Structure 1
Amino acid sequence: MLASGVLLASLLVAAVLIWLRRDRRYQSSESVASAYDAWTDDRLLERLWGEHVHLGHYGDPPASRDFRRAKEAFVHELIRWSGLDQLPPGSKLIDVGCGIGGSARILARDYGFDVLGISISPVQVRRATELTPEGLSCRFAVMDALELDCPNHSFDAVWSVEAGPHMPDKQRYADELLRVLRPGGHLAVADWNRRDPSDGEMNRRERWVMRQLLNQWAHPEFASIKGFQTNLDVSDHHQSVVETADWTSATLPSWIDSIAEGVRRPGAVLGLGPSAVLQGLRETPTLLLMHWAFATGLMQFGVFRLKR
Structure 2
Amino acid sequence: MLIFLFLLTGIAVTFTFLLWIQGDRRYQSSESVAAAYDAWTNDRLLERLWGDHVHLGHYGNPPRYSDFREAKVSFVHELVQWSGLNQLPTGSKVLDVGCGIGGSARILARDYNFNVVGISISPAQVTRAIELTPHDLNCCFHVMDALSLRLPDQSFDAVWSVEAGPHMPNKQRYADELLRVLKPGGLLAVADWNRRDPSDGAMSKIERIVMRQLLNQWSHPEFASIASFRHNLENSHYAQGGLRTDDWSRATLPSWIDSIVEGLRRPGAILDIGPKAVIQGLRETPTLLLMHWAFATGLMQFGVFKFDRQ
**Which category of TM-score, normalised to the shorter sequence, fits these structures?**
over 0.9
Closer/same/farther in 2, CA of residues 63 and 14 from structure 1, 3 Å limit: closer
State the identity %: 74
The residue that corresponds to 1:22 in the other structure is 23
Residue of structure 2 in register with 1:245 after alignment: 246
Spell out the pairing of 1:158-169 with structure 2 (5 A cutoff): 158-169=159-170
Taking a change above 3 Å as real, the CA distance of residues 275 and 240 of structure 1, as seen in their structure-2 partners, is: same
Secondary structure, in 3 states, of the residue corresponding to 2:245? strand
SS of 1:140's equivalent? strand
Alpha-carbon distance in 1 for matches of 2:81, 2:227: 22
Whether the 8 Å contact between 2:105 and 2:139 is mirrored in structure 1 is yes
In 2, Cα distance between equivalents of 1:276 and 1:14: 18
* SS of corresponding position for 2:241: coil
Q: Which moved more, 1:21-30 or 1:56-65?
A: 21-30
Deviations along 1:97-151, one digit per CA (max 9) or x if unpaired, are 0000000000000000000000000000000000000111000000000000000
The equivalent residue for 1:74 is 75
Is the 2:102–2:118 contact (alpha carbons within 8 Å) kept by the matching residues of 1?
yes
Residue pairs, 1:191-206, within 5 angstroms: 191-206=192-207
> Which letter maps to 2:71?
A
- Tell me which stretches of 4 or more aligned residues in structure 1 moved more than 6 Å: none
Paired with 2:121 and 2:171, the residues of 1 have a C-alpha distance of 16
**2:177 aligned partner:** 176
TM-superposition CA deviations, 1:183-231 (whole Å, max 9, x none): 1101100000000000001010000000000000000000000000000
Whether contact under 8 Å (2:15, 2:286) holds in the other structure is: no
Deviations 1:231-262 (CA, angstroms, capped at 9, x unpaired)? 00000010212110000000000000000000
Question: Which deviations, in whole Å up to 9, do the C-alpha atoms of 1:43-78 show, x marking residues without a partner?
Answer: 000000000000000000000000000000000000
Is this contact kept in 1: 2:93–2:115, CA < 8 A?
Answer: yes
- How big is the shift at 1:306? 1.6
Aligned to 2:52: 51
Q: What is the rounded CA distance, in whole Å, between the counterparts of 1:43 and 1:21 in structure 2?
A: 19
CA distance in 1: counterparts of 2:22 and 2:62, whole angstroms: 38
Listed as ranges, the matches of 1:53-202 within 5 Å are 53-202=54-203
Corresponding letter in the other structure for 1:289: L
The answer to whether residue 286 in structure 2 is matched with residue 285 in structure 1 is: yes
Give the count of matched residue pairs. 298
Contact preservation (8 Å) 2:244, 2:306: yes
CA 1:135–1:209 in 2, change beyond 3 Å: closer, same or farther? same
Unaligned regions of 5+ residues in structure 1, if any?
1-8
- Alignment RMSD: 1.5
Q: 1:241 aligns to what SS in structure 2?
A: strand
* Greater mean alpha carbon deviation, residues 234-243 or residues 249-258: 234-243
Deviation at 1:16, TM superposition (A): 3.3
Name the SS for the 1:188 alignment partner.
Answer: strand
Matched AA of 2:275: P
Name the CA distance, whole Å, in 1 between partners of 2:15 and 2:280. Answer: 10
> Which residue identity lines up with residue 167 of structure 1 in the other structure?
M
Q: Distance in 2 between matches of 1:283 and 1:34?
A: 16
Letter in 2 for 1:80: Q
Aligned counterparts of 1:242 and 1:204: Cα–Cα separation in 2: 34
Determine the structure 2 residue equivalent to 1:4.
none
Letter in 2 for 1:83: G
Give yes or no for contact 1:19–1:283 (8 Å, CA) kept in 2: no
- The TM-score normalised by the length of structure 1 is 0.94
Give the deviation of 1:20 after TM superposition. 4.6
TM-score w.r.t. length of structure 2: 0.94
Q: Which one is further off, 21-30 or 210-219?
A: 21-30
Taking the aligned partners of 1:31 and 1:19, their CA distance within structure 2 comes to 20
2:207 is the alignment partner of 1:211: no
**Partners of 1:248 and 1:300 within 8 A in 2:** yes
What runs of 5+ residues in structure 2 fail to find an aligned partner?
A: 1-9
The SS at the match of 1:182 is strand
Counterpart of 1:273, as a letter, is G
